[in-house]
Structure 1
Amino acid sequence: MATTSRKHTHPLRTLVILGLVIVALFTMIGFSGVWSPKLGLDLRGGTTITLTASNVTGSGTVDPASLELARTIIQQRVDSIGVGESEVTTSGDRQIVVSVPNVQRDELVRMVGQTAQLYFRKVYAAEASTGGATQPSATASAQPTTEPSASPSATPNKRPMPGLPTPVPSPRPTAPSGQTTALADLLKWTPSDRDNSEFAAFQCDQPSPTPDVTDQPLITCDQTKSYKYLLGPVLIRGDQVTRAIAAVPQNSVSWVVELEFNSQGAADFQAVTAHLSGQTSPQNQFGIVLDGTVISAPSVGTEYSAGIAGGKAEISGSFTQKSAQELANVLTYGALPLSFEISSVDNVSAKLGGDQLQAGIIAGLIGLALVLAYSILYYRGLALVVSLSLVVAGALTWALVVLLGTSMGFALNLPGIAGAIVAIGVTADSFIIYFERIRDEVREGRSLRTAIETGWVRSRKTIVVADSVSLLSAVVLFVLAIGAVKGFAFTLGLTTLIDLAVVFFFTKPMMTLLGRTKFFGEGHRFSGFESEHMGASNPPLHNSRRTGAVVAGGEAR
């Protein structure tokens, strides 16, 4: 027994280390400036839409690449409204779940259900934006291919841009969006003083001052928000592109994007490239715009003064395989690559979310009060260990949930709160297993100090196994579940790990220290260690300070 007790000679050191860990976690929270957990959509209010792909193949499945591409396009649309903490995820093999806080049903349905707008516009001005990182300079050159082609740079916005062109006053078009205007007239369009002044004042960290309307100019930025553009009215629509693929041409080692247009698009493209080839930079560029953002802004060389005929073109530049494929996908799937039906729309008001959060907190407090009441009635003074252990577990849970929210985007939803409430019972189970094991050891005639140590050795295996089962259940549920249920699984798994840490590094050292005190060690009344309360038939436990002997149930140690 003496050997067993000597294995735990520094319980105070363990408690100090655990305290330092908790202090470090809350110090990190202080540096982040966020003291409350990130709340899920069901608690802070918003809208969730489930979209189901309707155009499946003959095998009844959806192409995973098309589903992921659709998810990316929808994510870009949702992000464009400037609402943080939105989520667009795939579910199963044909569903996309869109969750956006503080956005009402009609607005979100319109946004995710519309066809993506892909347009080709002439660039009238382009320069670096102070609202984004400056990109390094690069020079693009045109390389003819066996097919009639334009080979502009995929990233021409990286070259130094000259100042604004001399404006020629011109009224902004007032025709309704979607109304077509003769291409020759559109090519003669020039920006007005108003357009130039708005462009000069605009930075990429600001909302665009112009809407994405086909017959009006557009002031916008590239995807990296490094360069801003003043674009003219739409010259070619995305639906005129019939094919776009990423490829490596013969006798070349660089990736390019090959385009094919329909008959009308081919004619328009020849006229546009003939016009652009005679312009100076940056007005020899055309911006490829998806949902109001410049995806690429290639230029047309002077060798194409007659335009590019045949309805085929090639965009070359500093492409990688990935970037070339991404641009080809955008050009091919300007619209969503799949047709979707809205399967469900769920609204959660901010008030309803607040009511749910309040109800969850009340339920947790009731569960906590019941555990403490049981501990006081049954374990008496040992309820101090229970309460302090729950406080430590609560502090660790709060700190980790807040830090995971700021670093990884973990949001605490209502099922997650349910998982935290369940964890109170898991933690109580660990206490009961350990305390009851100590009582068994005392009934067998061991002293209190010995019972604390041997009871721990024999109970910790049971505690680890029980928590391992809970942890395994949480992992399996997290892998197989979808949507908000993952929050329950994640929180349950996290709190189970915290329970193991608290039992090993707080509850056990605290019991060892209390066993050395007079009130607990000598089995005073209401300590929870009195022999009659623990079922021992012999006189109460006590420590003899004069002899150093410990007597329990008549057995000398």
Structure 2
Amino acid sequence: MAAPTQRHARSGRTLAILGLIIASLAVWTFWPGESHAPKLGLDLRGGTAVILTPTGTQTGGAITDDQLKQAVEIIRQRVDGFGVAESEVTTQGSGQNASIIVSIPGVTNEAILESLATTAKLDFRPVLAQGFGSSMPTPTPTPSPSSSGTSSSPSPSPSPSTSANIVPPASPSATGNGAAITGGLRPNDTTTPASPSATGSPTPTASASVTPSPTSTASPSATAPTSPVSSVNGLPPIQSAANDGALQAAYITLDCSKTGATKGGPTDPKKFLVTCSKDGAYKYFLEPAAVEGTEISSAAAGLSQSGGGWEVNLTFSADGSTQFATVTGDLSKKSPPANQFGIVLDGLVESAPSVSQAIIGGSAVITGSFTADEAKALANVLKYGSLPVSLEVSSVESISPTLGQDQLTAGLLAGALGLLLVVVYLVIYYRALGVVAVASLLVAAAITFELFVILGRQLGFTLSLAGVAGAIVAIGITADSFVVYFERIRDEIREGRNLRAAGDAGWIRARKTILAADFVSFLAAVILYFLSVGSVRGFAFTLGLTTLVDVAVAFAFTRPLVSLLMRNPRFSSGKAWTGLSPDRLGAKSPLGTATSTRTTLAASRAAKES
């Protein structure tokens, strides 16, 4: 009796644990102030359609179909990185006349929209000069007034003279710079002492005159030919192969308050660059890239361990780590602004932190006044790489559901009728065991609904009509598990076992079949998920999720409940209402079997005696 008693207690404990899990999920699902329904997909509730138009390539050549395909894949990865499921990214047309259409369920926030068209061409460039973006800043931030008045005004000379006074501004973070990155660049080591590199700003000095010529690169002579300066309508990014008079003149006359000055664009990492900060507050004269963004192996957004808000953690490749350590070591020995590192994203300076020490170890942290969406957006575009083409947002439109409410109602009604037919069949054919099957279906439905709501809230999972189809298919998979188990029990009863023994032996034989069938379904769902896109992935995800729920319900609910019923005196009586009547199933008589065995043994003895 010890073994049955232990089994009885174990079954009850399993059901109690499952009930506690379901109750916990229910509390999470119906938490006050949160959405209590699954997120619906694009075809059920509509969403936002963003049309992107290619404007050029990084190399300046013609736009090819291969580049468009690569851009579509990168955009899809960026959207998925925000936890948005069931998005659709397609192309229309080809070449220069093509457009990329991104359809996202629900209301799209600004961070997602900005990341779609961001080329994400990242460079780290030493700063040669830094000035105000507007030609007449007010008030004048002169570090120290001069009695002679010769240094009281920071206004540059209109001529491309290299003696122009350029006053380094105060810390961007202190002045409320609205750029996405307003902080600094520091080693990814929380034990590193605080240093100016963590503040991302140079300290204004009494010597405010900075010439826009590098200390490590000789300026061309007056007789040397002038390199062509490339720009679009004279707006940033302005580039040149040499630091000559033409580029210096472009820096001095640059006004970042002009319309289009902060639009950005593709840059050549081998050329000198004149550009603006992302918010247009400052302008920069930058050397060629010391470290390119292609050397970043990974990027992730996270909360600062020191409580400083959101930050982006960068990890460089082996070559990038060496380059980064070398250039930060060189910059740390220089005076402002030559000790600054311009972080340039798509032709605009996101931040220009000062460097006070070499950053070694292959990792760094970009800090600043990030919001969670801004940090994730920057990490996504850096992690998934730069787009091969430059894109601009042509239009953003709200789209209505592609399926009407009547069609959705009809689909749900079909699912409800299918479930009802399965329930009726199970109850008629299996009697009391059919009630167990119905209870198992209800438990599986409750867990599935709770997971849909929680995953939608936490991971952005959306339920499309294809996902609804996957859930309806799962009803048949779950019911099939019950049929396998119940038929195994009946087979054991037909062999002459009592109900308790039949329940145990039937489960041992049935569980292998259940696991094999569910494994095949889950494997098919996984393969379909990784080899498909759009709504088909929604079907595969839902099918895989409900298959796992089926296994959990079969092992943690159906089996323990049947085990408890088999030990109930009324149920183990084997009457017709239980669905396990030995007479109805044509079970072999244990007495008849024993009599036949004795007759056979007697006949054998008689044959030996004769």
Q: TM-score, normalised by structure 2?
A: 0.53
- CA gap of 1:245–1:420, structure 2 versus 1, over 3 A, is same
CA distance in 2, matches of 1:553, 1:443: 13
Structure 2: where are the runs of 5+ without partners?
123-129, 138-169, 185-197, 204-209, 220-231, 237-247, 265-276, 293-318, 329-334, 367-376, 596-610
Q: 1:214 aligns with which of 256, 260, 278?
A: 260
1:38 aligns with 2:39: yes
1:147 aligns with 2:217: yes
Q: 2:458 aligns with which of 386, 407, 412?
A: 407
Cross-structure match for 2:75: 71
Please, which moves more after superposition, 444-453 or 424-433? 444-453
What secondary structure sits across from 1:98 in the alignment?
strand
Cross-structure match for 2:274: none
Cross-structure match for 1:493: 544
5 Å-filtered alignment, 1:355-434, equals 357-434=408-485
What secondary structure sits across from 1:470 in the alignment?
helix
- Quote the offset at 1:506 in angstroms: 0.8
CA distance in 2, matches of 1:402, 1:499: 18
What secondary structure sits across from 1:295 in the alignment?
strand
Q: 1:437 aligns with which of 488, 493, 504?
A: 488
Residue deviations 1:200-242 (CA, integer Å, cap 9, x gap): xxxxxxxxxx9x9337999xxxxxxxxx986369999x9xx99
CA distance in 1, matches of 2:485, 2:558: 9
1:99 aligns with 2:161: no
Residue deviations 1:373-411 (CA, integer Å, cap 9, x gap): 111221122221011101111122122222222333322
CA distance in 1, matches of 2:542, 2:324: 53
Cα RMSD, aligned residues only: 6.3
Cross-structure match for 1:9: 8
- Quote the offset at 1:37 in angstroms: 2.1
8 Å contact kept, 1:50–1:96? yes
1:296 aligns with 2:300: no
Cross-structure match for 2:280: 231
CA distance in 2, matches of 1:110, 1:17: 46
- Quote the offset at 1:110 in angstroms: 12
5 Å-filtered alignment, 1:486-525, equals 486-525=537-576
- Quote the offset at 1:372 in angstroms: 0.2
AA of the residue aligned to 2:199: S
What secondary structure sits across from 1:368 in the alignment?
helix
What secondary structure sits across from 1:445 in the alignment?
coil
AA of the residue aligned to 1:101: P
- CA gap of 1:433–1:482, structure 2 versus 1, over 3 A, is same
CA distance in 2, matches of 1:289, 1:253: 18
CA distance in 1, matches of 2:289, 2:323: 23
8 Å contact kept, 1:45–1:350? yes
AA of the residue aligned to 2:527: V
- Quote the offset at 1:417 in angstroms: 1.6
8 Å contact kept, 2:118–2:346? no
Cross-structure match for 2:153: none
8 Å contact kept, 1:255–1:319? no
Q: TM-score, normalised by structure 1?
A: 0.58
What secondary structure sits across from 2:574 in the alignment?
coil
Q: 1:137 aligns with which of 199, 217, 234?
A: 199
- CA gap of 1:430–1:287, structure 2 versus 1, over 3 A, is same
8 Å contact kept, 1:217–1:232? no
Fraction of identical pairs, as percent:
40
- Quote the offset at 1:19 in angstroms: 0.8
5 Å-filtered alignment, 1:220-369, equals 231=280, 246=292, 253-255=325-327, 295-297=350-352, 337-338=388-389, 349-350=400-401, 352=403, 354=405, 357-369=408-420
AA of the residue aligned to 1:214: G
Residue deviations 1:166-186 (CA, integer Å, cap 9, x gap): xxxxxxxxxxx97989x9999
- CA gap of 1:443–1:381, structure 2 versus 1, over 3 A, is same
Residue deviations 1:477-533 (CA, integer Å, cap 9, x gap): 122222221121121111111111111111111112222334422233433223344
- CA gap of 1:337–1:324, structure 2 versus 1, over 3 A, is farther
Aligned residue-pair number: 433
- CA gap of 1:509–1:374, structure 2 versus 1, over 3 A, is same
CA distance in 1, matches of 2:474, 2:322: 63
- Quote the offset at 1:13 in angstroms: 1.5
Cross-structure match for 2:193: none
CA distance in 1, matches of 2:323, 2:510: 73
8 Å contact kept, 2:117–2:390? no
- CA gap of 1:298–1:248, structure 2 versus 1, over 3 A, is same
8 Å contact kept, 2:464–2:535? yes
AA of the residue aligned to 1:422: V
AA of the residue aligned to 1:511: V
- Quote the offset at 1:424 in angstroms: 0.5
CA distance in 1, matches of 2:538, 2:480: 23
- Quote the offset at 1:426 in angstroms: 0.5
What secondary structure sits across from 1:146 in the alignment?
coil
